[in-house]
Amino acid sequence: MFEVYLLKGAEGELESLPKKTHDKINEHIKTLSQFPDVRQCKKISGYEDTFRLRVGRYRVLFKVYSNEKVIVVSKVGQRGNVYRGL
């Protein structure tokens, strides 16, 4: 099992979403503790140990630290915007 942490920026992005969307994404983030057995996850090419979780039209970007069994969620946002500044 992995421990899942959200960076402050990701927390703010998540909090700014409508409640229904916030709750849905939050439920998906909780499933990340079961990594790599999580559906809708794909590695982001060109970035080491960085993945994305698809939740409808939103994406959750996270980095996996396998040795420490830690996942850090760095960004949450709509598909078109979330990859900017990665």
User: Is 40 among the domain residues?
Assistant: yes
pLDDT band with cut points at 50, 70 and 90 for residue 4 = very high
13: closest CA among 48, 21, 2, 36?
21
Please check whether residue 25 is in contact with residue 76, taking contact to mean a CB–CB distance below 8 angstroms.
Answer: yes
CA dist., res. 81 & res. 59, Å (int)? 9
Digit-coded pLDDT (tens) for 10-55 = 999 999 999 999 999 999 999 999 998 888 899 999 999 999 999 9
φ, ψ dihedrals at 9, nearest 5°: -60, -40
On the question of pLDDT at 86 being above 80, the answer is no
Domain that holds residue 53: 3-80
Number of domains in the chain: 1
We report the CATH number of the domain holding residue 11 as: 3.30.2310.20
